[in-house]
């Protein structure tokens, strides 16, 4: 049995989103082949996701100086608690699925905020004499992304997602890029069919 964390960074449903359509295809196929796995769905656009702000920065600075958690303001305590919950949720999962669309050549801001919660010194990466090193070596990840044009995974978003996961130690990484359906609508059915087949294939071994 494995805990599967699904991070959905798209606000629309499968009816209106290529990303979510392929995500749903993957989940259905994975549940069929791995019925013992436990899924946790994290819909970022319907989640109170903490963003790094002045309260968090000052709270972390105080904690680093030795201030007791109970001495932080009530607002700071709550923000630190919620931030840590997302970090702990990630740490408790063996398999990570991230789904988003490419918007303006980058990841959605909600997804960036989530990545901040898992990019934590001392928990997901550490510092050595040779530089930073990833601490998360026991997880696998899948990135599902749709884009109107074709970038072959070389866009900023795809590179960022893979780069951050590699940085914290995750090298068991697969991707499904749904590209070009908006640029060439005539090929949209073919593009979606290929993405669904890849999703089903990866689901069986993920």
pLDDT digits 0-9 by tens, 91-132 = 999 999 999 999 999 999 999 999 999 999 999 999 999 999
> H/E element holding 92?
none
* Residue 62 among known ligand-binding residues: no
CA–CA separation, 187 vs 180, rounded Å?
Answer: 8
**HSE toward the beta carbon, residue 88, CA cutoff 13 A:** 6
* Residue 147 among known ligand-binding residues: yes
Q: Which of 162, 169, 163 is nearest to 144 (CA)?
A: 162
Cβ atoms within 10 Å, residue 53: 10
pTM over 0.75: yes
* Residue 66 among known ligand-binding residues: no
Q: What is the CATH number of domain 3-51+91-205?
A: 3.40.50.360
Neighbouring residues of 67: CB distance < 8 A, sequence distance ≥ 6: none
* Residue 175 among known ligand-binding residues: no
The residue ranges of every structural domain in the chain are 3-51+91-205
């Amino acid at each position: 049995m494995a805990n599967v964390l699904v991070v959905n960074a798209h606000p629309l449903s499968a009816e209106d989103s290529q990303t979510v359509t392929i995500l749903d295809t993957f989940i259905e196929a994975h549940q069929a082949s791995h019925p013992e796995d436990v899924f946790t769905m994290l819909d970022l656009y319907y989640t109170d996701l903490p963003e790094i702000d002045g309260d968090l920065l000052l709270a972390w600075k105080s904690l680093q100086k030795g201030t007791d958690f109970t001495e932080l303001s009530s607002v700071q305590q709550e923000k630190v608690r919620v931030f840590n919950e997302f970090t702990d949720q990630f740490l408790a999962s063996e398999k990570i699925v991230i789904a988003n669309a490419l918007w303006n050549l980058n990841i959605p801001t909600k997804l960036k905020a989530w990545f901040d919660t898992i990019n934590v010194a001392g928990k997901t990466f550490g510092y050595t004499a040779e530089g930073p090193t990833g601490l998360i070596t026991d997880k696998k990840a899948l990135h599902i992304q749709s884009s109107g044009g074709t970038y072959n995974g070389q866009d900023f978003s795809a590179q960022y997602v893979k780069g951050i996961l590699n940085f914290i130690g995750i090298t068991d990484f697969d991707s499904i890029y749904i590209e070009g359906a908006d640029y060439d609508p005539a090929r949209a059915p073919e593009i979606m069919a290929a993405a669904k087949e890849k999703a089903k294939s990866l689901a069986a071994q993920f």
